[in-house]
Chains A and B, each alone.
Chain A
């Protein structure tokens, strides 16, 4: 029993370590969210509460973009929900590896964010629950602290884009993708290629979020096909 608990702790800690580089980036993105929210006249409290209870860069930036452009609540919520719709299949994927009853599983499912989910992926549809939760902890802390810094340090922080920090996420996702492609074989390469082509084709026409969601179609098509060999 103690051994098992010890192993679990190791999984969490290994996850925290793996999540630290992402936390750094998340913190920078959070600062820019705080600055943006302040510039939109959201005050101090609202952006910080938003980051604590929502904890989603894509959803929060979407709300800022829609409300900032004069859009209504419904448009803002729809945009955010569409952007986060990818967490639905990702949640289904990790579901068998979470613990406890429905409420606890629902809570553990909140730990699903892109980097943690990809890092905890052990191939063949398996996921490391402790590793995923551990990796999310520093990212959540950085998201909240970064938002506070951005809201309070309005105007002091340098330009994220000038420093090239906006490419850190795609570069990281590319690194995770390379690992997937090296271990996943031909089907993984085909799925990635189709998803990339679909996303590129949809960007000019579909609302934000849909191009990424279309990737699930690529996985569905190839996953349901009978293996030819």
Chain B
């Protein structure tokens, strides 16, 4: 088997195991209130981190301020003004594309 196929199978097993671990170990048990308090904060924390890494992180592990920040910034303004989600996202893509075109 080639390197590629070994990698494909190994990554699949690792990824499936990571996703299966919580459901298998926790099962159907109710989680204690303290754990629940942590989980309630996971969503805002993970989403904020994803926004940062996907807006400012580049492929080489640097923080960069480029057209993506402009697009996501416009989406932030639109969302603050209570614009619909799809409009905000479309604006982000449009502004980023235009900035790259004329930048």
Contacts and interface: CB of A to CB of B under 8 A. Distances in A.
Interface in B58-103: 59, 61-63, 67-68, 71-72, 75-76, 79-80, 85-86, 88-89, 92-98, 100-101
Contacts, number: 297
Interface of B: 3-8, 10-12, 14-16, 18-31, 34-57, 59, 61-63, 67-68, 71-72, 75-76, 79-80, 85-86, 88-89, 92-98, 100-101
B39 A93 contact: yes
Given A84-B15, A98-B23, A168 B92 contact: yes
Interface string A163-190: 1111111111111111011001001110
Contact of B6 (A73, A112, A208): A73
Given A85-B18, A214-B49, 10 more contacts: A46-B8, A90-B46, A92-B26, A109-B23, A123-B40, A174-B76, A203-B57, A216-B46, A219-B39, A219-B44
A126 B15 CA distance: 24
A141 interface: no
A5 to B, nearest CB: 20
Contact of B44 (A89, A170, A189): A189
A196 B61 contact: no
A215 B5 contact: no
Interface of A: 21, 42, 46, 49-50, 53-54, 56, 59-60, 63, 65, 67, 72-73, 76-77, 80-81, 84-96, 98-99, 102, 105-110, 112, 114, 117-118, 121, 123-125, 161-178, 180-181, 184, 187-189, 191-196, 198-200, 203-205, 208, 211-212, 214-216, 218-220, 222-224
A216 B95 contact: no
15 contacts: A53-B12, A93-B39, A98-B28, A107-B20, A166-B68, A167-B96, A173-B47, A195-B45, A195-B48, A196-B51, A200-B63, A203-B52, A216-B42, A219-B42, A223-B39
